[in-house]
Amino acid sequence: MATLKAFDADVLSAKAAVQSARINLEYTKAASPVPGRVGISQVTEGAYVQASNATLMATVQQLDPMYVDVLQSSNDLLRLRKALGSGELGRDKEGRARVKLLLDDGTEYAQEGALQFSDVSVSPSTSSVTIRAIFPNPNGILLPGLFVRARLVEGSKSDAILVPQPAVTRNSKGEATAFVVGAGDKVELRVLETGRTVGSDWLVLDGLKAGDRVIMNNLQRIRPGAAIKPVPMPATGPATAATASADTQKR
Protein backbone atom coordinates (compact mmCIF):
# COMPACT_ATOMS: atom_id res chain seq x y z
CA MET A 1 0.00 0.00 0.00
CA ALA A 2 2.89 2.35 0.76
CA THR A 3 4.33 1.70 -2.70
CA LEU A 4 0.91 2.29 -4.32
CA LYS A 5 0.49 5.62 -2.53
CA ALA A 6 3.99 6.64 -3.60
CA PHE A 7 3.18 5.89 -7.25
CA ASP A 8 -0.11 7.85 -6.99
CA ALA A 9 1.84 10.82 -5.63
CA ASP A 10 4.28 10.56 -8.53
CA VAL A 11 1.37 10.64 -10.99
CA LEU A 12 -0.11 13.74 -9.35
CA SER A 13 3.31 15.40 -9.35
CA ALA A 14 3.74 14.64 -13.05
CA LYS A 15 0.30 16.12 -13.81
CA ALA A 16 1.23 19.25 -11.86
CA ALA A 17 4.46 19.51 -13.84
CA VAL A 18 2.51 19.25 -17.11
CA GLN A 19 0.11 21.99 -15.97
CA SER A 20 3.01 24.20 -14.92
CA ALA A 21 4.68 23.69 -18.32
CA ARG A 22 1.44 24.68 -20.08
CA ILE A 23 1.23 27.87 -18.00
CA ASN A 24 4.86 28.74 -18.78
CA LEU A 25 4.22 28.06 -22.47
CA GLU A 26 1.36 30.60 -22.46
CA TYR A 27 3.80 33.21 -21.13
CA THR A 28 5.71 32.94 -24.41
CA LYS A 29 2.75 34.50 -26.24
CA ALA A 30 2.25 38.23 -25.77
CA ALA A 31 -1.40 39.24 -26.18
CA SER A 32 -2.25 42.89 -26.84
CA PRO A 33 -4.55 44.43 -24.22
CA VAL A 34 -6.13 46.74 -26.87
CA PRO A 35 -7.24 46.15 -30.48
CA GLY A 36 -5.23 47.94 -33.15
CA ARG A 37 -2.26 47.62 -35.48
CA VAL A 38 1.20 46.56 -34.38
CA GLY A 39 4.24 48.57 -35.38
CA ILE A 40 7.82 47.56 -36.11
CA SER A 41 9.18 44.75 -33.91
CA GLN A 42 11.83 45.95 -31.45
CA VAL A 43 13.36 42.49 -30.88
CA THR A 44 14.49 39.73 -33.23
CA GLU A 45 13.19 36.17 -33.30
CA GLY A 46 14.85 34.05 -30.64
CA ALA A 47 15.90 37.02 -28.50
CA TYR A 48 15.71 36.65 -24.72
CA VAL A 49 12.86 38.73 -23.26
CA GLN A 50 12.34 39.26 -19.54
CA ALA A 51 9.23 40.41 -17.78
CA SER A 52 11.24 41.85 -14.89
CA ASN A 53 13.10 44.30 -17.16
CA ALA A 54 9.94 45.21 -19.13
CA THR A 55 11.51 44.61 -22.54
CA LEU A 56 9.65 46.56 -25.26
CA MET A 57 8.84 44.13 -28.08
CA ALA A 58 6.44 46.20 -30.21
CA THR A 59 3.91 49.01 -29.97
CA VAL A 60 0.21 48.51 -30.69
CA GLN A 61 -1.69 51.61 -31.84
CA GLN A 62 -5.44 51.90 -31.60
CA LEU A 63 -6.43 53.65 -34.83
CA ASP A 64 -10.22 53.73 -34.55
CA PRO A 65 -11.25 55.96 -32.91
CA MET A 66 -8.37 58.44 -32.99
CA TYR A 67 -7.61 61.15 -30.44
CA VAL A 68 -6.48 64.61 -31.57
CA ASP A 69 -4.74 66.81 -29.01
CA VAL A 70 -4.73 70.56 -29.65
CA LEU A 71 -2.94 73.30 -27.71
CA GLN A 72 -5.28 76.18 -26.94
CA SER A 73 -4.50 79.40 -25.09
CA SER A 74 -6.19 79.84 -21.74
CA ASN A 75 -8.05 82.93 -23.05
CA ASP A 76 -9.43 80.97 -26.01
CA LEU A 77 -10.44 78.17 -23.66
CA LEU A 78 -12.47 80.58 -21.54
CA ARG A 79 -14.11 81.92 -24.70
CA LEU A 80 -14.81 78.36 -25.81
CA ARG A 81 -16.53 77.52 -22.54
CA LYS A 82 -18.68 80.65 -22.78
CA ALA A 83 -19.62 79.77 -26.36
CA LEU A 84 -20.58 76.26 -25.29
CA GLY A 85 -22.67 77.60 -22.43
CA SER A 86 -24.47 80.15 -24.62
CA GLY A 87 -25.15 77.68 -27.42
CA GLU A 88 -23.08 79.49 -30.05
CA LEU A 89 -21.11 76.34 -30.84
CA GLY A 90 -22.71 73.53 -32.80
CA ARG A 91 -23.19 70.33 -30.76
CA ASP A 92 -23.63 66.68 -31.62
CA LYS A 93 -26.41 64.41 -30.32
CA GLU A 94 -24.56 63.90 -27.02
CA GLY A 95 -24.18 67.65 -26.42
CA ARG A 96 -20.47 67.83 -27.31
CA ALA A 97 -18.94 70.51 -29.52
CA ARG A 98 -18.45 69.38 -33.12
CA VAL A 99 -14.94 69.47 -34.57
CA LYS A 100 -13.63 69.18 -38.13
CA LEU A 101 -10.09 68.43 -39.26
CA LEU A 102 -7.86 69.88 -41.95
CA LEU A 103 -5.14 67.48 -43.04
CA ASP A 104 -1.55 68.50 -43.69
CA ASP A 105 -2.20 68.88 -47.42
CA GLY A 106 -5.08 71.30 -46.80
CA THR A 107 -7.92 68.88 -47.53
CA GLU A 108 -10.76 68.39 -45.07
CA TYR A 109 -11.10 65.07 -43.29
CA ALA A 110 -14.39 63.40 -44.21
CA GLN A 111 -15.34 62.30 -40.69
CA GLU A 112 -16.59 64.78 -38.09
CA GLY A 113 -15.37 64.52 -34.51
CA ALA A 114 -16.42 65.80 -31.11
CA LEU A 115 -14.68 67.73 -28.37
CA GLN A 116 -14.06 65.29 -25.50
CA PHE A 117 -12.30 67.12 -22.65
CA SER A 118 -9.61 69.63 -21.72
CA ASP A 119 -6.61 69.21 -19.47
CA VAL A 120 -6.90 70.30 -15.84
CA SER A 121 -3.72 72.39 -15.79
CA VAL A 122 -2.34 75.37 -17.71
CA SER A 123 1.26 75.41 -18.91
CA PRO A 124 3.00 78.26 -17.03
CA SER A 125 5.50 78.84 -19.85
CA THR A 126 3.03 79.08 -22.75
CA SER A 127 -0.27 79.79 -20.91
CA SER A 128 -1.89 77.07 -23.00
CA VAL A 129 -4.16 74.12 -22.27
CA THR A 130 -4.37 70.79 -24.10
CA ILE A 131 -7.86 69.96 -25.34
CA ARG A 132 -8.74 66.60 -26.87
CA ALA A 133 -11.16 65.71 -29.64
CA ILE A 134 -12.14 62.20 -30.73
CA PHE A 135 -12.60 61.22 -34.38
CA PRO A 136 -13.79 58.02 -36.07
CA ASN A 137 -11.07 56.57 -38.29
CA PRO A 138 -12.58 53.56 -40.09
CA ASN A 139 -10.28 53.79 -43.12
CA GLY A 140 -7.06 54.39 -41.17
CA ILE A 141 -6.37 57.77 -42.80
CA LEU A 142 -5.37 59.35 -39.49
CA LEU A 143 -2.10 58.02 -38.09
CA PRO A 144 -0.38 58.69 -34.74
CA GLY A 145 1.85 61.76 -34.95
CA LEU A 146 0.11 63.16 -38.05
CA PHE A 147 -0.04 66.98 -38.17
CA VAL A 148 -3.61 68.26 -38.50
CA ARG A 149 -5.57 71.44 -37.80
CA ALA A 150 -8.76 71.26 -35.75
CA ARG A 151 -11.67 73.56 -36.47
CA LEU A 152 -14.66 73.95 -34.14
CA VAL A 153 -18.02 74.03 -35.87
CA GLU A 154 -19.73 77.23 -34.74
CA GLY A 155 -23.09 78.75 -35.39
CA SER A 156 -23.47 81.67 -37.78
CA LYS A 157 -23.61 85.28 -36.66
CA SER A 158 -25.55 87.49 -39.05
CA ASP A 159 -24.33 90.86 -37.68
CA ALA A 160 -20.63 89.95 -37.48
CA ILE A 161 -18.08 92.46 -38.81
CA LEU A 162 -14.87 91.17 -40.36
CA VAL A 163 -11.95 93.48 -41.10
CA PRO A 164 -8.87 92.45 -43.11
CA GLN A 165 -5.88 91.96 -40.82
CA PRO A 166 -3.62 94.48 -42.67
CA ALA A 167 -6.09 97.26 -41.81
CA VAL A 168 -5.75 96.66 -38.04
CA THR A 169 -2.69 97.96 -36.17
CA ARG A 170 -1.72 98.35 -32.52
CA ASN A 171 -1.14 101.58 -30.60
CA SER A 172 1.37 102.14 -27.80
CA LYS A 173 -1.09 100.64 -25.30
CA GLY A 174 -1.41 97.46 -27.33
CA GLU A 175 -4.98 98.25 -28.36
CA ALA A 176 -6.24 97.28 -31.79
CA THR A 177 -6.90 100.34 -33.96
CA ALA A 178 -8.06 101.08 -37.48
CA PHE A 179 -8.37 104.20 -39.64
CA VAL A 180 -11.92 104.97 -40.75
CA VAL A 181 -13.28 107.44 -43.29
CA GLY A 182 -15.30 109.87 -41.18
CA ALA A 183 -17.53 112.85 -41.89
CA GLY A 184 -16.29 115.08 -44.67
CA ASP A 185 -13.93 112.33 -45.87
CA LYS A 186 -11.59 112.96 -42.98
CA VAL A 187 -9.57 110.28 -41.24
CA GLU A 188 -10.73 108.99 -37.87
CA LEU A 189 -8.78 106.63 -35.63
CA ARG A 190 -10.97 104.01 -33.98
CA VAL A 191 -10.02 101.78 -31.07
CA LEU A 192 -11.39 98.29 -31.74
CA GLU A 193 -12.24 95.31 -29.63
CA THR A 194 -11.23 92.28 -31.64
CA GLY A 195 -12.20 88.70 -30.97
CA ARG A 196 -10.34 86.11 -33.02
CA THR A 197 -9.14 85.68 -36.55
CA VAL A 198 -11.45 84.23 -39.20
CA GLY A 199 -9.26 83.28 -42.13
CA SER A 200 -7.35 86.44 -43.06
CA ASP A 201 -9.76 88.78 -41.19
CA TRP A 202 -10.26 89.99 -37.63
CA LEU A 203 -13.64 89.52 -36.01
CA VAL A 204 -14.50 92.96 -34.60
CA LEU A 205 -16.67 92.94 -31.48
CA ASP A 206 -16.81 96.69 -30.86
CA GLY A 207 -15.58 99.95 -32.41
CA LEU A 208 -17.17 99.57 -35.83
CA LYS A 209 -20.72 99.47 -37.11
CA ALA A 210 -22.27 98.42 -40.38
CA GLY A 211 -21.47 100.89 -43.14
CA ASP A 212 -18.20 102.19 -41.70
CA ARG A 213 -15.45 102.54 -44.31
CA VAL A 214 -12.13 101.13 -43.12
CA ILE A 215 -8.98 102.41 -44.79
CA MET A 216 -6.77 99.68 -46.22
CA ASN A 217 -3.89 101.43 -48.04
CA ASN A 218 -1.44 104.27 -47.37
CA LEU A 219 -1.71 103.73 -43.61
CA GLN A 220 1.78 105.15 -43.05
CA ARG A 221 0.97 108.44 -44.82
CA ILE A 222 -2.37 109.36 -43.23
CA ARG A 223 -3.07 110.95 -39.88
CA PRO A 224 -6.30 111.48 -37.89
CA GLY A 225 -8.15 114.56 -39.16
CA ALA A 226 -6.46 114.56 -42.57
CA ALA A 227 -8.69 115.03 -45.61
CA ILE A 228 -8.54 112.13 -48.03
CA LYS A 229 -10.06 110.95 -51.27
CA PRO A 230 -11.36 107.41 -50.59
CA VAL A 231 -11.56 104.90 -53.40
CA PRO A 232 -14.03 102.04 -52.71
CA MET A 233 -12.72 98.48 -52.77
CA PRO A 234 -14.83 95.40 -53.58
CA ALA A 235 -16.45 93.94 -50.47
CA THR A 236 -15.34 90.41 -49.58
CA GLY A 237 -18.70 89.30 -48.19
CA PRO A 238 -21.94 90.43 -46.54
CA ALA A 239 -20.45 90.14 -43.03
CA THR A 240 -17.39 92.26 -43.82
CA ALA A 241 -17.12 95.95 -43.04
CA ALA A 242 -16.87 98.23 -46.06
CA THR A 243 -13.28 99.02 -46.98
CA ALA A 244 -11.72 101.88 -48.82
CA SER A 245 -8.37 102.54 -50.41
CA ALA A 246 -7.46 106.04 -49.29
CA ASP A 247 -5.46 108.44 -51.46
CA THR A 248 -4.26 111.47 -49.50
CA GLN A 249 -5.17 114.81 -51.00
CA LYS A 250 -2.43 117.32 -51.76
CA ARG A 251 -2.78 120.62 -49.95
Is 70 exceeded by the pLDDT of residue 89? no
Helices (H) and strands (E) in the chain, counts: 2, 15
Report the largest interatomic distance among the alpha carbons of the chain, rounded to a whole angstrom. Answer: 131
pTM, full prediction: 0.52
* Whole-number pLDDT of residue 17: 96
The helix (H) or strand (E) run that includes residue 159 is none
* Whole-number pLDDT of residue 241: 55
Least-confidence region, from 102-111, 156-165, 190-199 = 156-165
Let me know: does 168 contact 95? Beta carbons within 8 Å. no
User: Mind listing the pLDDT tens digit for each residue in 210-239?
Assistant: 888 888 888 778 888 888 888 887 655 554
Is 50 exceeded by the pLDDT of residue 146? yes
* Whole-number pLDDT of residue 251: 29
Question: Can you tell me the mean pLDDT for 42-52?
Answer: 79
Cα gap 63→55, rounded to integer Å: 24
Domains of the chain: 66-152 (2.40.30.170), 161-248 (2.40.420.20)
8 Cα distance to chain centroid: 69
Instruction: Specify which of 8-22, 78-92, 217-231 reaches the highest per-range mean pLDDT.
Output: 8-22
Percentage of the chain surpassing pLDDT 70?
85
**Confidence band (pLDDT; 50, 70, 90) for 200?**
confident
* Whole-number pLDDT of residue 16: 96
Instruction: Specify which of 10-19, 36-45, 177-186 reaches the highest per-range mean pLDDT.
Output: 10-19
User: Residue 96 gets which letter from DSSP?
Assistant: P
Question: How many CB atoms neighbour CB 85 within 10 A?
Answer: 9
* Whole-number pLDDT of residue 234: 67
User: Mind listing the pLDDT tens digit for each residue in 123-137?
Assistant: 788 788 888 889 998
